[in-house]
Structure formats: structure tokens, C-alpha cells
Structure 1
Amino acid sequence: MNLLKRFFILAFFALSTSFYAQTTYPKITGYFGIMHPIVTISNEQTTLNFRDYYAVGFPTGINIWKSSKIGFSFEIVPNIKAEDGHDKVTNILFHPGVLVALGNGYTFAGRAAFESSGRYGFTPVLNKTVIKSDNCSYFVAVPLPVRFGNDHPATFTVGFQFGIAF
């Protein structure tokens, strides 16, 4: 084989493998996390997690990125509450939303919220990837749930979430 033929074969191979290494869209990722509500505020009371009870949620979802900037997320969150020596699943949250990449590892998620307890609302979430590897990434997030309905006053919660995406 002459030198020119070898060059073109190597160039084609190098270019074709670099195309496979690029991210193609839509891109699908999954994740699992642990969410701790820290404080919940309503016009009737302010409640603190870890004081009289312990509540925790386990957000599990799939993100479908349309491009490097925008995507859709489908999340389900079972919530557990432990109080007075008893624990139970108190709620299942259906949490679809839009994802907006903000750069430098930050993502904004604007989510609609539909709870099995009969409450509904929305949840803005600010997410930061803190460790990224070839196989997965670790993230922290601050969800800010706002809920209405089911004969309860409107509430605003500040939470802390951490998890793994793959």
C-alpha cells in the first residue's frame, strides 16, 4: 500500500472514531438521589426536619437532553417519614420538568409537582455536578418545593439533595 493510501485510511479511522466519541442528541441519562427537606414554612407554622421527625425522599429519574442546553426530566420520588418510633411511605411524587444547562456544571430544573397525598405545585431546583467521571457524576442540589391543595395551607420548603447520575 502506498503512503498516501495509508494516510487516508488512518485519517478516516481517526475522524470516524472521534465522531463516535462526541455526544449525540437526544442524550438519555438516569439518576438516583437522597433528598432531605430542611425547613417547611406555611402561614400556620414552620417545621424543621430532624427535630420532631425525620423525612427523606428518594428521587429517581431519567433525563432526556434534546441538546447540550435543554432537556426534559421525568422523576418519581417516594417519601418516607419516621416519627414517634413509626415510619411509613407518606407520599409518592410525580415530578416532570424542563432542564436548562447553565454552564460550569450547574443545571436548573423547573418541575411540576403532583403528589399522591393530593397536593400539587412546582419545584425549582438548582443542581451542581461536583464530581464527573467517565461512567457517572455526583451532584448536589437545592430543591425549593411550593405546594398547594388538599385542604392544607400553601407551603414552601427548602431542601438539600445529593446523588449520582449515570
Structure 2
Amino acid sequence: MQNSNQFTTGILFFLLVLLSHQAFAQPTETYPKITGYASIMHPIVIVNKDHTTTNFDRYYQVVFPFGINIWKSKKIGFSIELAPGIKSEEGTSKMNNLLIHPGVLIALGKGFGFAGRVAFETSGRYGITPVFSKVVKKNKESAFYIAIPMPLRLGNNQPASLSAGFQIGISF
């Protein structure tokens, strides 16, 4: 009888350890993993060989990037982004550009990330956009982030330009 009680106690202890391990175990992520995001981006400054322009100087421009990320692993992924832009100038506003923005994503650790994007604009410009980002608040189903995009643009009979902006968004 005592051996039977020890055996039953041992089995119960084993099951308790097994169940408690499952209860506290972190779920493993499977890849590829698809995520999405939506954001708002304010261009801050645009510099070319002729002049420097700042947002709010003669006009106000705002861009609404949104997209889908396909993470191949925890460290690297692919992203496709669409970013319509609205410009307000001299009392009128209009959608003045649509940016098609595919690129490679690299997770740098501790919430930091890098996106290397190519850019195709309906305005006739094209180029590259390195984007550095940081997750500032992570929730169970989403994350809030800030980013600094630095577009380099060419084409459309305009001088090459380099700009910087401030972006804030939510990924889910």
C-alpha cells in the first residue's frame, strides 16, 4: 500500500511539473509570420543642391504609410508599403503623391529595426529610403513605434534630394 501511494504521489508530482511548465512556457512563434502596420509621417527637411526646404515653411505635407510585413525569421523579412501623401499649400490641399515602397526588414534587437526600401513615386521620382525604427510600447497584440525615414530621391528633371522625417505608427 505504501509503494502504491508513493507511486501515485510521484505520478501526480510529475503531472503537476509538466502542467505548470506548459502554463508558464512562452508560445513559440512560427515563421513565416505576417504582420501589418499603419502610421503617419511628417517630412521635416528636404535638401538638394539648390535649396533647403522645411515642412511648414511654404506648405504642409503629411504622408500615411501602411503596409504588410512578411517575416522569414525573427531577424529578417520583406515588406511592401503604400504611402499616400497630402500637401496643403496656399489655402488648398490635395493628394499629391503615392509612394510604392518595397523593402527588406532587419530586426536589430532590443526593439530597434532597419528597413531598406526602394522607392517609386507617382510624381515621377524614385530612389531609396533607409528607415530606422524603435518600438516604444509593446502590447500583446500590437506595438507602437517611432521611425526616422531618410529618403534619397532622383528623377523627374529635379535635382537629387535627401530628406528626413518623423514617423509614428502601430504594428499589429
Q: TM-score, normalization: structure 2?
A: 0.88
Residue 37 (1) aligns with residue 43 (2): yes
Change (3 A) 1:69 1:146: same
Cα offsets for 1:61-102 (capped at 9, x unmatched): 111111111111110000000001100000000000001111
Q: Counterpart in 2 of 1:134?
A: 140
Q: What is the CA RMSD across the aligned residues, in angstroms?
A: 1.9
What are the ranges of 5 or more consecutive residues in structure 1 without an aligned counterpart? none
Q: Counterpart in 2 of 1:150?
A: 156
Provide the rounded CA distance (Å) in 2 between the counterparts of 1:17 and 1:71: 30
Displacement of 1:135 in angstroms is 1.6
Number of equivalences: 166
Q: Within 5 A, what are the aligned runs for 1:24-103?
A: 24-103=30-109
Displacement of 1:153 in angstroms is 0.8
Runs of 4+ in 1 over 2 A off after TM superposition: 2-20
| Letter matched to residue 36 of structure 2 | G
Provide the rounded CA distance (Å) in 2 between the counterparts of 1:11 and 1:61: 43
Structure number with greater Rg is 2
Displacement of 1:27 in angstroms is 1.2
What are the ranges of 5 or more consecutive residues in structure 2 without an aligned counterpart? 1-7
Q: TM-score, normalization: structure 1?
A: 0.91
Report the identity percentage.
53
Q: Within 5 A, what are the aligned runs for 1:103-118?
A: 103-118=109-124
Displacement of 1:17 in angstroms is 6.9
SS of 1:21 mapped into structure 2: coil
